């Protein structure tokens, strides 16, 4: 069945692409393009519901709504993975920021401590 090959291949492709690429302009653009395509398809299905069934029959799915469900599943997986990768990257940046802040704070407290020691016991 064409639909099975299509669905499995697209899921696999997305996982590979998403995990491979660093977040960049190119991937962002691709995400947006896919988003537009999905939106266009949704609009078309609203305007002419019979188109969905025809499209479904074309790829070997009996009912139009089934095709929509399959596509939604793929989109959902895609979105989840994208967000996961993004959150992990954000976490990493956040940790680096917190770490820098901790070291800075420490340096500052050491400086402050040294200057009070100097003023209490003036040298020379």
Instruction: Sketch the per residue contact string, 36 through 75, with other proteins: x for CB under 8 A, - otherwise.
Output: ----------------------------------------
**How far are the Cα atoms of 83, 86, 96 from residue 90, in angstroms, in the given order?**
10, 6, 10
CB–CB of 67/7 below 8 Å?
no
Nearer to other proteins among residue 15 and residue 69 (C-beta): 15
H helix runs in 48-63, sequence order: 49-59
Q: Give the rounded distance of the alpha carbon of 123 from its chain centre.
A: 59
Q: How far apart are the first and last CA of the chain?
A: 91
Q: Is 105 in the site for other proteins (CB under 8 A)?
A: yes
Question: How far is 30 from 63, CA to CA, in rounded Å?
Answer: 29
94 near other proteins, rule: CB under 8 A: yes
Considering only 12, 87, 98, 112, the residue that binds other proteins (CB under 8 A) is 98
Out of 13, 33, 106, 111, the residue judged to bind other proteins by CB under 8 A: 106
Site for other proteins in 1-30 (CB under 8 A): 16, 19-20
Binding site for other proteins (CB under 8 A): 16, 19-20, 84-85, 88, 91-92, 94-95, 98-99, 101-103, 105-107
């Amino acid at each position: 069945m064409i639909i099975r090959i299509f669905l499995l291949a697209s899921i696999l492709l997305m996982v590979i692409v998403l995990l491979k690429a660093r977040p960049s302009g190119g991937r962002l653009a691709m995400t947006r393009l896919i988003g537009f395509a999905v939106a266009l398809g949704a609009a078309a299905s609203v305007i002419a519901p019979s188109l969905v069934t025809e499209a479904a029959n074309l790829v070997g799915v009996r009912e139009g709504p089934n095709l929509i469900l399959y596509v939604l599943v793929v989109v959902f997986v895609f979105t989840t993975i994208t967000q996961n990768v993004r959150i992990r990257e954000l976490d990493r940046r956040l940790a680096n920021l917190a770490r820098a802040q901790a070291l800075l704070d420490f340096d500052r407290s050491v400086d402050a401590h040294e200057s009070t020691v100097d003023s209490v016991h003036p040298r020379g």
